[in-house]
Every structure is written in C-alpha cells, then in structure tokens.
Amino acid sequence: MRSRPFLVHALSPLHAGTGHAAELVDLPTARMRSTGIPILPGSSIKGVLRDARREEAGEDEARQARVEAVFGPPPEDSSAHAGALVVGDARLVALPVRTFRGTFAWATSPLLLALAARDLEEEGRSAPAVPALGPGRRALVTDGSLCLHQDHLYLEDLDLPARTSPELGEWARLLAPLASPGADIFSPRLALVDDETMSFLCETATQVDARVRLDPATRTVAPRALWLEESLPPETLLIGLLNAERSRRQGTEMTPEEVLDLGLPREEVVQLGGKATTGHGRCRLIPIPGGSDGQA
C-alpha cells in the first residue's frame, strides 16, 4: 500500500453536516466523536474526486475503466470489485481566529500538529517536531508574527501569554507554500495554543449562520423554518490521507502510484460538503509533495 497526504483549504464557509442535532445549533458540522475536532468525511472527498475524474475521462472507455479501477464500479455493479483508492477523513490542522493584531491567526495545537505529523510520516517523510508549550494556557508564534502584541496573543476574547518559537517556524515553512502560494500571509499568522484552548475555539470560533425559508405567498418566514447552521470559516486548513493498492479491476492494471496520480493528480478547486447553492464549500484540494511513498 502507498500513501499520500493532502491539504484542504477552505475558500468559502465549509459545511460538512451530520444532520439535525438536539442542541442550540440545528445543523452542526462533522466532528471526531472522541475529540470534537472538526473533520470533512472522506466519503465526501472521494465522491467529488470520482465525479471530476469521470468528467475528464469523457466518452473514452479505456479512461473510464481506469476511473472505475480507482474509485470502484457504479452502484448497480458494486459487487464486481473494490476500488483501489481509500480516502481518509480530512481533519482540522489550523483554524482561522480573529485577533487583536494581524486581523486573524491560524490557530493550531500540539494535538493537531501531532496528528498531522502522523499523516505526513505515513508517506515516508519526516515531519517537523511538535513544539513544547509547557504547562498552563499560553501560546507560541513564529518570528516576525503579525499577531503578537506586547508578548500576548489576543484570540477573540482570550488573552494568552505568548513567545516566538523556531520549531513552530518549521511548520510554517512546510505549510505556507501550500496554504498561501505567492505572497506568504500564513507564516506570520500561525499560532500554537494549548489543547484545551483549541477545544474551546473548535466550539466557539466556527461560523454559525441563521437561515430561514420564506413562504412564497406571504414572503414571510414559513412556520418552523428558522434554523442555525454551523460551518468551518474560510481559510480553515484540514489534512487527510490517500491510501492506494493495485487495481482490482480485471483487465485494468494499475500500480498504487498510478492510482494515487489518477485520484488526485494536481491541486484543484472543488466544491465540498453541502450548501453549494449558497456559496459554501469552495475549497482548494492540494496533494502534499515530498518524501517517498510508504509501502506495506
């Protein structure tokens, strides 16, 4: 098996819904059950990639056969063979949060970076070390940070003592070319907070919109048609992992590397999650280069 990590960069609000919930927010975003970390389900990503590759293949039967080898056959023939590509859930790695200085920061935490490092190392590359924060609620920023104010980082209404960290700069150098190609707005805004503060931000720094449905006759809100909808804000970064094996489709031979190259051959802008007609879900999907693919 071979693996390749990828980055999801939200360009508009991203709503990966879980259905209705018996909470204040009627339509929350998807989260890991054990940690509360926001995720984008791999099934959503795989469906979008499948549609894109089918469209590119057009009427070419040989190319369509390769698409089926990678993503699996259509539902009516689902027992023929399994697809060779496994798309994992994309998990939050950095959340944009409003700051007193610098407009906003990409907030992350030791847990988020440790999980991201695990995915990166699946590909046989070395990930930067996770910076040590020490006890208590505090923060680290990069050299030249735009968000640091008198040795403090102000996130929304949080006041955190902060200092610069060369180790965090290593993560900035890794992610900045992916998250901010061209002019680097990422590195001076990356901030590391403790895991407890990050859990609080995952609950309070997401985007919550009030939505209504109008009665077409009266042009007023229809009865019981007011709800709250949660999304990840624009500039959110998530990381996921593609895993590939050899093609299982009879007559279509493909190596794991060829499966990965067809599944996500390049950076592309796609629509992920729900609420597309309201402008939600426009994302950059970016394969993370470097290293030799891990093999099992």
pLDDT in 10s for each residue of the chain, 296 residues: 899 999 999 999 999 877 555 467 778 889 998 899 999 999 999 999 999 999 999 999 999 999 999 999 988 887 889 999 999 999 999 999 999 999 999 999 999 999 999 999 986 778 999 999 988 899 999 999 999 999 999 999 999 999 999 999 999 999 999 999 989 999 999 999 999 999 999 999 999 888 888 888 888 888 878 878 899 999 999 999 999 999 999 999 999 999 999 999 999 999 999 888 888 999 999 999 865 444 33
Q: Domain locations in the chain?
A: 2-16+30-205+232-287
Which region, left, alpha or beta, applies to residue 102 given φ > 0 means left and ψ of -120 to 50 means alpha? left
The angle at the Cα of 273, spanning 271 to 276, to the nearest 5 degrees, equals 55
Closest CA to 146 of 195, 183, 197: 183
Which residue spans within 158-272 are E strands per DSSP?
158-164, 190-193, 207-214, 221-231, 237-244, 268-271
> Which residues lie below 8 Å from residue 5, measured CB to CB, with a gap of 6+?
119, 120, 122, 123, 239, 240, 241, 242, 287, 288
According to the model, what pLDDT value does residue 294 have? 40
In degrees and rounded to multiples of 5, residue 145 shows phi and psi of -60, 140
For residues 39 and 12, what is the distance between their CA atoms, to the nearest angstrom?
16
